[in-house]
Amino acid sequence: SIGIGLGLFSVIVLAYEKFVFSKILGIVSSIVNPLVMLPFLIMGYGSIAMVVVTTIINFLTIVINMIYCFKFLQVKIKFKKFESALLKEILVFSSFLFLNLIIEKIYWSTDQVILGMYSGPVAIAVYTIGASFSGYFSGFSAAISNVFLTKVTTMVTKNASYEEISELFIKIGRLQFIIISLALSGFIVLGQEFINLWVGKDYKDSFLIAMLILIPMVISLIQSMGGVILQAKNMQKFKTIVYFGLAMVNVLLSIMFVQWWGAIGCALATAIAFTAGNIIIMNIYYWKKVKIDIPKFWFNILCMSVPFFISVLLGTTFNNLIIANNWFVFLFKALTFVAVYLILIWFVGMNKYEKILFLGPFKNVINKFKKENLYKVS
């Protein structure tokens, strides 16, 4: 409750585009939490101690954000005029975001409930393992798109042209594709072995479930900037209606398919609903209503897909020659695959801007190292 009430300070930090501070604070709090919690668990304290530790760390995080806003960003809060029109706009905007979160929760939780009704706990376990990978892929995409909400909002406020917004959409989509296609191609090649080593061969169907969900989902993830643009333009209503329809279709198809194919049937229902709504309907909406150049976007992605298909082909061939029966062999194969993919995407898929962007951090480290050595010599 305290976090909801005072969460505006963390949002202010993001609004000022202080992403480094925000991410470092999040990483530190995530590391400190288990380090502090573990001694209490060893001493015999239970769940209440865990909750207390988490609450204290969350409260400290809020305080740090407040101090950063007031001291470093020089933020000043003035309680003067009450703007009812602005409050109404905020409530409408937030309501659609809230509905989207609820519908998304229903969308991704329905299958487990239906499996529990028709197939039992074993099917739920198999499905859960397969569906869990969708969360990791979503994290890859969100890590890139979320930092651009402020930039897109600024562009919309300043009445940026449709061409400028389209270029940003394509630029971020290409960056997301580089990361997500690496994860997807790696999972296609090594996913079955990973699941076998992780949870055992009894969960072999989890790989097919994951593939049915991930393939259409990846297409949506590389277009996650579309959702950010809709937020900036306050055009959430259509997306909410589409997602609600998807959730209903997913429920109906899942009830039908689970009786024929079990957990795989639920995954297939999710894939069909996802493809119809998130890919077909939303692409048409982005193109016709939001005026994003979707044909140009897909032309760019198609050109970048060559390294993806080559790496999958080479990886599958190599994978059949060496079977990973332990984690050491699997890690060797995974690192080899990543190296091959990076070489292919560098020479075939990436443009000049993307190469400069990826080389930037390495150049900064090298330049800093050179300066330090020069300083020592002088």
Task: Write down which residue in 50, 78, 106 finishes a domain.
Answer: 78
Max CA separation in the chain (angstroms): 77
Cα-Cα-Cα-Cα dihedral of 9, 10, 15, 17, to 10°? Answer: 130
Cα–Cα distance, 253 to 273 (Å, whole number): 8
Residues 200 and 242 in one domain: yes
Q: What is the DSSP string of 208-221?
A: HHHHHHHHHHHHHH
Residues 54 and 145 in one domain: no
pLDDT of residue 373: 63
> pLDDT, tens digit, for every residue of 265-300?
888 988 898 898 888 999 999 998 888 899 999 999
Q: What is the DSSP string of 140-159?
A: HHHHHHGGGHHHHHHHHHTT
Residues 185 and 308 in one domain: yes
pLDDT of residue 221: 86
Residues 178 and 53 in one domain: no
Task: Write down which residue in 78, 104, 123 finishes a domain.
Answer: 78
pLDDT of residue 352: 85
* Single pTM value for the model: 0.77
> pLDDT, tens digit, for every residue of 247-264?
888 888 888 888 888 888
pLDDT category at 376 given cuts 50, 70, 90 is low
Residue 359 lies in a domain: yes
What are the angstrom distances between the C-alpha of 135 and each of 209, 268, 331? 14, 18, 22
Between vectors from CA 222 to CA 307 and to CA 189, what angle results, nearest 5°?
A: 45
Residue 374 lies in a domain: no
Task: Write down which residue in 78, 102, 120 finishes a domain.
Answer: 78
> pLDDT, tens digit, for every residue of 141-167?
776 766 776 777 777 777 778 888 888
> pLDDT, tens digit, for every residue of 181-226?
988 999 999 888 888 888 888 788 888 888 888 888 888 888 888 8
**C-alpha torsion sign, points 228, 230, 236, 242:** negative
Specify the 3-state DSSP secondary structure of 291: coil
> pLDDT, tens digit, for every residue of 110-120?
777 888 777 77
Residues 300 and 247 in one domain: yes
Between vectors from CA 15 to CA 11 and to CA 19, what angle results, nearest 5°?
A: 85
**C-alpha torsion sign, points 365, 167, 165, 280:** negative
Residues 130 and 149 in one domain: yes
Residue 376 lies in a domain: no
pLDDT of residue 284: 92
Count the neighbouring beta carbons within 10 Å of the beta carbon of residue 238: 15
Residue 159 lies in a domain: yes
Residues 118 and 228 in one domain: yes
pLDDT category at 378 given cuts 50, 70, 90 is low
Count the neighbouring beta carbons within 10 Å of the beta carbon of residue 169: 24
Looking at per-residue pLDDT, the higher value among 365 and 244 belongs to 244
Residues 138 and 11 in one domain: no
What burial class does residue 288 get, using C-beta atoms within 10 Å of its C-beta: 0-12 exposed, 13-18 middle, 19+ buried? exposed
Q: Which two tokens stand for residue 131?
A: 């569906």
Cα–Cα distance, 250 to 245 (Å, whole number): 9
pLDDT of residue 295: 92
Residue 378 lies in a domain: no
Residue 216 lies in a domain: yes
Q: Which two tokens stand for residue 243?
A: 């997602």
- Helix axes 294-321 and 327-344, enclosed angle (nearest 10): 140
User: Over 70: is that where the pLDDT of 58 sits?
Assistant: yes
Q: What is the DSSP string of 65-112?
A: HHHIIIIIS----------HHHHHHHHHHHHHHHHHHHHHHHHHHHHH
Residue 372 lies in a domain: no
> If you average pLDDT over every residue of the chain, what do you get?
83
- Domain hosting 17: range is 2-78
Residues 41 and 124 in one domain: no
Residues 49 and 114 in one domain: no
Nearest to residue 355, comparing CAs of 178, 206, 112?
Answer: 178
pLDDT category at 23 given cuts 50, 70, 90 is confident
Residues 42 and 98 in one domain: no
> pLDDT, tens digit, for every residue of 70-89?
988 888 888 887 888 888 88
Residue 377 lies in a domain: no
Q: Which two tokens stand for residue 103?
A: 């519908």
pLDDT of residue 354: 84
pLDDT category at 53 given cuts 50, 70, 90 is confident
Q: Which two tokens stand for residue 296?
A: 């140009």
pLDDT of residue 10: 86
pLDDT of residue 104: 77
pLDDT of residue 43: 84
> pLDDT, tens digit, for every residue of 301-359?
998 899 999 999 998 888 878 777 888 888 999 999 999 999 999 998 888 888 888 88
Q: What would the mean pLDDT of 227-240 be, rounded to a whole number?
A: 82
Provide, rounded to the nearest whole percent, the portion of the chain with pLDDT above 90. Answer: 12
Q: Give me the number of domains the chain comprises.
A: 2
What are the angstrom distances between the C-alpha of 15 and each of 9, 22, 61, 172, 174? 10, 11, 17, 19, 24
Residues 188 and 153 in one domain: yes
Looking at per-residue pLDDT, the higher value among 371 and 332 belongs to 332
Cα–Cα distance, 147 to 294 (Å, whole number): 22
Cα–Cα distance, 27 to 61 (Å, whole number): 11
